[in-house]
Amino acid sequence: GAVVSQHPSRVICKSGTSVKIECRSLDFQATTMFWYRQFPKQSLMLMATSNEGSKATYEQGVEKDKFLINHASLTLSTLTVTSAHPEDSSFYICSAYRGDTFGSGTRLTVV
C-alpha cells in the first residue's frame, strides 16, 4: 500500500529559530499533499494544501509567511516553521495519496 514518510518524528528547537519538516511519498507520486496541525486531545486541523510546482494554498488564519511550504518534486513536500515560538509547539502531520494516507507526524516543541 501507499506509504507516506515524515521526518523528523520529534524536534525541539529554541524560540526564534526555524524548523523544517519533510513529507515524502515512498512508492507513489503525489501532486498534492496536505499539512495538518493537531493540538493535544484535539482533532486535525488543515493548515494548507501543497501542490507540486506551484504555491501552496493556506487555510484561513494560517500565516503563510510563518509556515513555508515547498513542494518541489512529486515525492517531497516540506513545511518550514519560521521564527518558531512556544505557541507553535504542536503535532504536525502530512497526508498524500488521495489525501487519505498520513505520515507518522512530527512533534515540535519550541523552548
Task: Kindly list the residues in this chain that would bind other proteins in the complex (CB under 8 A).
Answer: 4, 6, 31-32, 34, 41-46, 49, 91, 93, 95, 98-105, 107
Q: Smallest distance from the beta carbon of 72 to other proteins, in angstroms?
A: 17
Helix, strand or coil for residue 17?
Answer: coil
CB nearer to other proteins: pick between 93 and 110 = 93
d(CA 92, CA 71): 16
Q: Is 49 exposed, middle or buried (0-12, 13-18, 19+ CB in 10 A)?
A: middle
Question: Least distance (Å) from other proteins to the CB of residue 63?
Answer: 20
